[in-house]
């Protein structure tokens, strides 16, 4: 309700994007006919949630990290999760010169009407490795000749390692 006692109704798409990374990401949304497609590039800041604009609720979606000199994008096929509660997880790799940037993608179909063409999904982007220091002192650890430091009671997110490699 607003201050005058009137009810306020907010209409938004059921396609939600959550960025759990410490880096911003760019969403490239494309909709329309193949002759005249309309494209929108939306920046999703770290630790933020975005409801995709209604105009792009059924658009094709691609993602790439922002602030990293990366030209390649990965397509996000949120339509693959068709039944309520279904979750699809993927690992995305972005080659940036001699460094690899990894991110985990999770697509969850929410409990909306079962029509395949309707969006009702939560799309989450997360780092492949997150270390929480529960010790009362600072800690250091090494992964593939790279040293990481994490302060007491703090968390560090690592996007330069793949979960497929053995540590």
DSSP states of the chain as a string?
A: --TTS--------SEEEEE-SSS-EEEEEEES-SSS-EEEEEEE-TT-EEEPPGGGTTSEEEEEESSS-----EEE-GGG--STT-EEEEEEEEEETTEEEEEEEEEEE-SS---TTS--EEEEEE-SEEEE--SSS-EEEEETTEEEEE-TT-EEEE-SS-TTS--
151 belongs to a structural domain: yes
| pLDDT of amino acid 114 | 67
Both 33 and 89 in a single domain? Answer: yes
User: Where is pLDDT greater, at 29 or 5?
Assistant: 29
Does 94 or 165 have the greater pLDDT score? 94
Whether residue 32 sits in one domain with residue 102 = yes
Same domain, 148 and 89: no
Q: Mark whether 115 and 137 lie in a shared domain.
A: no
Q: In the prediction, which pLDDT does 19 show? A: 96
Number of domains in the chain: 2
- Let me know whether 94 and 166 are in one domain: no
Q: Which pTM value belongs to this model?
A: 0.83
pLDDT digits (tens, 9 = 90+) for 108-143: 988 876 665 667 899 999 999 999 999 999 999 888
Q: Are residues 33 and 112 in the same domain?
A: yes
Residues spanned by the domain of 73: 15-127
Indicate if 145 and 100 belong to the same structural domain.
no
- In this predicted structure, what is the pLDDT of residue 146? 82
Q: Within this chain, do residues 26 and 59 fall inside the same structural domain, yes or no?
A: yes
Same domain, yes or no: 143 and 115? no
158 located within any domain: yes
Mark whether 41 and 105 lie in a shared domain. yes
Model pLDDT, residue 6: 84
């Amino acid at each position: 309700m607003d201050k005058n006692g009137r009810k306020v109704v907010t209409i938004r798409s059921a396609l939600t994007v959550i960025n759990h990374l410490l880096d911003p990401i760019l969403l490239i949304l494309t909709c329309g006919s193949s002759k005249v497609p309309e494209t929108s590039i939306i920046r999703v800041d770290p630790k933020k949630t975005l409801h995709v604009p209604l105009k792009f609720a059924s658009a094709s979606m691609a993602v790439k990290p922002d602030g990293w000199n990366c030209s390649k994008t990965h397509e996000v096929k949120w339509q693959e999760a068709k039944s309520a509660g279904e979750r699809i997880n993927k690992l995305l790799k972005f080659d940036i010169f001699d460094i690899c940037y990894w991110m985990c993608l999770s697509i969850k179909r929410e409990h909306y009407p079962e029509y395949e063409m309707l969006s009702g999904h939560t799309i989450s982007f997360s780092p492949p490795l997150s270390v929480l220091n529960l010790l009362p002192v600072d800690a250091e650890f090494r992964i593939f000749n790279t040293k990481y430091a994490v302060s007491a009671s703090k968390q560090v997110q690592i996007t330069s390692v793949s979960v497929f490699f053995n540590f």
